[in-house]
Amino acid sequence: MSQMPKPGLLNSIAEEAHCGAHLQALQLFCDDDQVTLCSKCVQSPEHMQHVILGIQEAAEYYRKLLQETLVILKEKLEAAKSLLAEEQERMVMIQEEEQRFKEMVRAEYKMRFRLLTGQVELPALGLPACTFEEDVKEAHENQLRKFSTELEHKSQEMIRELSNLGRQNMNKLKTSEVCASKFLGSLQETIADLEKKCGESAVALLQNAKHCLKRSESLLLQSPKPAHITDLSSCLLIKMKKALLRFQRDITLDPGTAHSSLVLSEDLRSMGFGTISQSVPDTPGRFDFSASVLGAESFSSGSHYWEVAVGQATQWQLGICDCTERKNNIPQASGDDKFLLMGSMMGTDYTFWVFPPLRKVCIRTQMYKVGVFLDCDCGQVSFYNVTEKSLIYSFCDLTFRGAVKPIFSLCIPNGDMSSNSLTVCLPQIHP
């Protein structure tokens, strides 16, 4: 009674095909022609100069190539998934950013109308003293309407620019999303085919193995990039008005809140790092977690403006701090009580951010002086590039629970003490 062959032998028998011409087992593989051969086929002139391998050897060679290709394709798959998610996230973000900048434009021009109308006084109208009161009132109202119309026109023009640029950015992102999605689909399909191919027997794997690798080459060469979009802030060309200077305040630093690593000037206008940490009284309001100091002045109503020289600092923060958010008069580390502009210089590169939340703002050159405008009644904090006389960023519709104070910070250096310094400028009228 015959015994059943072992499973491994069954597989070998099933896999061992025979040459139709010579009726011998196909145990060899021609790499040039991608065909299986018997020992007699190899002796024919057409295969004499070809690369001939054993079937198992050839299968292992191609299986290794397929597996290496799979590793790269899977890396590209993860990168494609990340790119697709990022592009979809950016689509949401630029819609939010467009809306945020439009709100900034509206708030800025509303503020300008308030400032301009505050400047319209009767002598400025150039009317003779004997003019009837009704004529004076009418002229005053006409001038206000003129101001309002001009500012509304400028506001709407900039909002239209933001809408056009936002639409262009969205179209670019949608195109990028479609490309990333198609690339992702092609990767998933090819990976599935290669994984299936790697699991096949030696003879089955060698069929079309080279074709499978060839088909994946185009995917290996592709590296989709994120869409290049234009920063919306690049068209936010709102010039700073001299009217702000009417609200300049004489700001000084409060030594009772200064971090122990900071040294303040005698006039309490400049801050920098000392060579050693100072021994200072442990007052309740002193910063102990960041190299910060508050302004001595606090504001709970009205409009206020001050300027800070930042050209001597490589990493700095400035803005306002909501004093009522400081439990027991101690500054909190959460940052929810602050509205800041931040600058960082790495070599010759400058990066600027606003907070909260943390957002990058488009400024390509170093700033030497920053103007801070605070409107307590309207809940607005605006930052201006004094050198360029332009708006950097505005926080609008803020709610302050009470008094707010200016805040100034430097980045605590590692190793050698830095020569970084910030200086609060004396109020002065600019030309």
How does pLDDT run along the chain (431 residues), one tens digit per residue? 333 334 443 344 334 577 767 777 777 888 888 888 887 787 788 777 788 888 888 888 999 999 999 999 999 999 999 999 999 999 998 898 899 889 888 888 888 887 777 654 433 434 444 444 665 666 667 777 777 777 788 888 888 999 999 999 999 999 999 999 999 999 999 999 999 999 888 888 888 888 888 888 889 998 899 999 988 877 777 777 777 888 899 999 998 888 888 889 999 999 988 765 555 545 556 565 678 899 999 999 889 999 999 988 888 999 998 876 444 444 444 455 789 999 887 767 788 888 888 888 877 677 899 999 999 988 899 999 998 888 889 998 888 888 899 999 988 666 555 568 899 999 876 55
| Boundary residue ending a domain (232, 250, 265) | 232
By residue range, what is the domain housing residue 338? 239-277+288-425
How far apart, in Å, are the Cα atoms of 407 and each of 154, 205, 271? 33, 69, 12
Residue 173 maps to a domain = yes
Domain with residue 321: its CATH number is 2.60.120.920
Radius of gyration of the chain (CA): 36
In a domain, 368, yes or no: yes
Question: Are 227 and 367 in a shared domain?
Answer: no
Stated pTM of the model: 0.68
Residue 431 lies in a domain: no
CB 109 within 8 A of CB 154: yes
Task: Please check whether residues 83 and 163 belong to one and the same domain.
Answer: yes
Q: Are 107 and 380 in contact (CB under 8 A)?
A: yes
DSSP letter at 251 equals -
Q: How many domains does the chain have?
A: 3
**b/e per residue, 314-325, with b = 16+ CB within 10 A?**
bbbbbbbbbbeb
Contacting residues for 316 by C-beta, under 8 A, at least 6 apart: 310, 342, 343, 408, 409, 410, 411, 420, 422
